[in-house]
Amino acid sequence: MDSAQEKEWYYRWFEPDVVVGVGYWGHTPQLVLHPQRYGVQPVPWLVADGFIANYQEVLNALPLILVTSHWVKEMYVRDGICGDNIEVLPVGCDTDSFIPFDKHDPKILAVRESLGISPEQLMILTVGGDAASKGAQEVMQALAIIDSKAPDWKYVCKVWPQPRTKVQNLADLEMASDLGIEKNVTYATNTISRNFMPYLIGACDIYAAASRLEGFGMPQVEAGACEKPVIGIRAMGMLDTLVDGKTALLADVAQQIVVQGVTLGVESGYEENHSIRFREPRTVDYRANVQDIARHLMTLMTDAPLRERMGKAGRLRVVEQFDYRVVARRFVQIMQDKLGIR
């Protein structure tokens, strides 16, 4: 919520014991400092963007910080936040909405038809604000490797329409053309609602997202809830959410994008063009092994029973570990143990 006035309104009449704000470390003024100004205890629930550059003193003074995965906690500790008061709380999945669908369900057939996918084609799906950050370029390179021997397939990238993604989409589609697979790659750029997402995921056969930077990976979890096998990367938040060989096939890390420093601005609590040099180089992005992705795709595309087994195992794991009711109970327990709130 961006409205300072509305937040103050809630503080005054609701009188909460804690205020939970969701964001990343750069949102500290909104998530932490604002409720503190009105005497309310903030509990930020944070993700990481590769480097925690500011607000260490403010965050270290908090009795509790929630983060979405163990990798995110590692990033905060690495960058100067005390780990004693950091608790891992995953994002909850609505397993009543994200469910397995029969492939002949009219709603599933309608999704596939709207995307130009025939009943006999295998649909591979990636969902993200943009596709490249979710590993789509690596997936396309892998598909080009196996194209001549793989079953008939279509690769769908569902991205959100925004200026940044338009440029990235063009670059991705140019890569597909260079690889000679452009006829089998579809970029869906229209805005859709959360109500549609279970059916979009339900329409695919394989969910592929070997993300370059992932603090949790909600679409991978939702794919598991829909009984879809997942291809991911053996790194970051996916080490929490996916089980290699059981619910997913994970590609090794082929490359870590390392930087010597960063330039930040007012969005991070600095003046414009504030430069930070690292004592040691920092990894800010990952790239999955394309050969691994190709091998995993071929395995899943040619083995329908394996896709089914991995999908069922994925559903079971999500229901047991990431269902929103399970996460809510964990949240209550953390509040009791860390803050004494009952």
Domains of the chain: 4-92+323-339 (no CATH), 106-252+289-321 (3.40.50.2000)
Q: How many CA atoms lie within 13 A of 98 on its CB side?
A: 29
Tokens in use for 156?
């769908």
pLDDT, tens only, 51-70: 888 899 999 999 999 999 99
Residue-wise pLDDT tens digits, 101-118: 999 999 999 999 999 999
Can you give the pLDDT at residue 1? 62
Over 80: is that where the pLDDT of 50 sits? Answer: no
- Residue 210: partners with Cβ closer than 8 Å, 6 or more residues away: 134, 135, 138, 139, 231, 232, 233, 251, 288, 293
83, 76 Cβ separation under 8 angstroms:
yes
Name which of 56, 46, 50, 47 is nearest 262 in CA terms.
Answer: 50
At 266-279, the pLDDT tens digits run 877 888 888 888 88
Q: Is 17 helix (H, G, I), strand (E, B) or coil?
A: coil
Helix H or strand E encompassing 321: helix 304-321
Taking each helix axis as running N to C, give the angle between helix 163-179 and helix 136-146, from 0 to 180 degrees, rounded to the nearest 10.
Answer: 20
Q: Note the pLDDT of residue 52.
A: 87
Percent with pLDDT over 70 in the chain: 100
What's the pLDDT band for 95 if we cut at 50, 70, 90?
very high
pLDDT tens-digit map of 229-259 = 999 999 999 999 999 999 999 999 999 989 8
The pLDDT value recorded for residue 191 is 83
Coil, strand, or helix at residue 267? helix
Give dist(CA 4, CA 35) in Å, integer: 10
The dihedral region occupied by 246, where left means phi > 0, alpha psi between -120 and 50, and beta the remainder, is alpha
pTM score: 0.94
Predicted confidence at residue 342, as pLDDT, reads: 78
Q: What 3-state class would DSSP assign to 117? A: coil
Cα gap 79→57, rounded to integer Å: 12
CB 213 within 8 A of CB 42: no
Average pLDDT, the chain: 94
pLDDT level of residue 76 (50, 70, 90 thresholds) = very high
Angle at the Cα of 15 from the Cα atoms of 28 and 8, rounded to 5 degrees: 50
